[in-house]
Amino acid sequence: MAERVETTRLEPPAVPAQSELASDTAAWGTAPTGTSPLAHVVLYQPEIPQNTGNIGRTCVATNSQLWIVQPAGFRIDEKRVRRAGLDYWQHLRWAEVPSWENLRQQLPGKRFWYFSRFATQTIWEADFRAGDAIVFGSESSGLPRTIFDPTGADAVRLPTDPRVRSLNLSNTVAVVLYEMLRRRDAAKG
């Protein structure tokens, strides 16, 4: 029998225009109280609503929190985002932040991992831990070099055949989250 988890229900606010975003986060969903997220999934200026919806669904499945760094290429209330997230969106812990600097303020003390096809370290070499922030760039241009160094110890890539430039963003996030879940569960014994 499944254990009942107490939840806190946050009502969705009116979604502001990007120019109206405050320095605070805008978030809603049902989050298990007393549980820490497996990971903080950060999408830096995502462009494709369906990817974000799919990533949201994977975050629910892995008990992870989704962060969206604005500006995004869509409004979070678009049908395409919700449709891709199916009926799981109401259970998603997520927040929008107006800038990279604001995100860093929201996650003090967290370890950050930056995903890029230019990184030298593979996912299998990274020392992921529960609660880490995993950062993914926009679908068309990735992460800006002002945020990370591709040769840094915190830069990670998924190994792919040289004929493949990159994987779909939602697929990449899913691989990383399930690798983190596998490691966490293996550490429990």
pLDDT, tens only, 112-131? 999 999 999 999 999 999 99
The CA distance from 29 to 143, in Å, is 27
pTM: 0.81
Query: Given this model, what pLDDT does residue 12 score?
Result: 36
Query: Given this model, what pLDDT does residue 169 score?
Result: 96
- What's the token pair of residue 40? 């903080």
Contact 43, 115 (CB under 8 A): no
Average pLDDT over residues 53-79: 89
The CATH code for residues 39-188 is 3.40.1280.10
The yes-or-no verdict on residue 182 having pLDDT over 90 is yes
Average pLDDT over residues 18-32: 40
Domains of the chain, by residue range, sit at 39-188
The yes-or-no verdict on residue 28 having pLDDT over 80 is no
CA angle 67, 54, 92 (to 5 degrees): 50
- What's the token pair of residue 30? 């049902």
Would you place residue 90 in the very low, low, confident or very high pLDDT band (cuts 50, 70, 90)?
confident
145 SS3 class: coil
